[in-house]
Structure 1
Amino acid sequence: MTVNELATPEQADAPVVTGERADLLEALAKQRHFLRFTTRDLTDEQARLRTTAGELCLGGLIKHVADVERNWAGFILEGPSAMPDFTAMTEADWARRADEFRLLPEETLAGVLADYAEVARRTDELVAALPDLDAGHPLPKAPWFEPGARWSARRVLLHVIAETAQHSGHADIVRESLDGAKSMG
């Protein structure tokens, strides 16, 4: 499969890239495809359902992954100021963050998928235009990051690929629990 085979219609006009950037974008496109594929033929109500012991639903997973990718793209451009300071978050902040994992009553699956497609398009354009994949920034403050660590744009993209793949797996389990549909097999 190539990047063009995995691209949404909105991404088909993305800039042509080669080499390492093409490899990174192809890996990310593949994981995005599998995540989106778990939502095929679902209603908004089905996309809101929790089907496992966890809090995850398919619409919420799409929202979360879109937000993660948006934030990390901001980090590549602006550094840690583009990300929340997780060490200073209040209970209300954490409650709002929990809504990121839910498809709220006023939201639609089509709407969160469209937002995700737009985030993906912008990330792909960013990767194509970056002058240097080695350029980096100190990580934002968070209890899960080593203090003083820096990530390059390349490392951020690898993280976004891993995060998307992890949540694609979660989505596959949620979908299979919902109606038996699988992404593979």
Structure 2
Amino acid sequence: MVGAQADPAPEPPEWVPRGPDHLPAYVLARAGTAVDDLFARHLGAVGLRPHTFVVLVHLVRAGTEPLTSAELARRLQMTPQSMGALLHGLVEAGWVERAGEVRRGQRVDVRVTPAGREALDSATPALAHLSRPETLGLTAEEAGTLHGLLQRVLTAIAADPGPGA
């Protein structure tokens, strides 16, 4: 049809002209990614990766009691297969030991080794730096407020059943 005019484009949602930087969840996601990267860089400087760090923390906190690979997978919200691969690397590095032969579906007890404790200890200066409020551009009071708010966000997200629930 010659001369027919196309329907005008529908109006975008109200937030689009302002951009996503005005959406708290978007800014929080961006900040989370930036802090993840910062955390990984500082741990990487001492030879650790975030998942490796968390596994070692859980094992050291368990003391003399072993944790199972299944329990570690639950705590880190990983699949048992992913945890198995992660633990394989930690065993190869000499940072953890697994009791017995690893067979699918069987309990696998995991303990930290002295070398794993040393690897975790080596992260102390990096963690001290990352824990300083000024590292995140905050005052001590702002860091305390942010921590409390983030705990509330995590609690709310855990309770959210998701879309369509």
Give the TM-score taking structure 2 as reference length.
0.26
Q: TM-score, normalised by structure 1?
A: 0.24
Higher Rg of the two aligned structures: 2
Q: Which has the higher contact order (CA 8 A, sep 6+)?
A: 1
